[in-house]
Amino acid sequence: MTVTGSCHCGKIAYELDEDLPAEGMACNCSICRRKGNLHHFTTPDKFALKGSRDDIATYEFNKHIIKHHHCKTCGCAPFAEGVGPGGKAMVEINLRCVDGIDLDTLKVTQFDGASM
Ligand SMILES: [Zn+2]
């Protein structure tokens, strides 16, 4: 199955070579508590961006290990890119931007990012 997602205006869209996730992660760190993303993590080989990187603005802070992307037009943040534990490239998917997902039945795990 292929998972699809996008920002509100559709300029940033993607496909994931995975089944629809049944679990997500919420984080209480300084940026996540403001944005309210529900995270799912994948690897770049399973992620295909549809559209142009010219439509993406990127915010970085602290150690600059995560590229917090958002759409220049509508402001939504459907994904981010970064380096995970062990130096491995990771893609964060915001499950709130994924098509056809039932957010009310997702098993959500709380991550204490604020303490890191
Ligand atoms: Zn947009």
Q: Give the CATH number, domain containing residue 88.
A: 2.170.150.70
Whether the CA torsion 27, 31, 37, 40 is positive or negative: it is negative
Average pLDDT, the chain: 95
What is the Å distance from ligand 1's center to 101 Cα? 19
What is the Å distance from ligand 1's center to 39 Cα? 19
pLDDT over threshold 80, residue 28: yes
Q: What is the pLDDT of residue 94?
A: 98
pLDDT over threshold 90, residue 1: no
pLDDT over threshold 90, residue 84: no
Domain count, the chain: 1
Give the phi and the psi of residue 18 in degrees, each rounded to 5: -155, 170
52-79 average pLDDT score: 95
Range of the domain at 9: 3-115
What is the Å distance from ligand 1's center to 25 Cα? 23
Q: What is the pLDDT of residue 57?
A: 98
42-46 average pLDDT score: 97
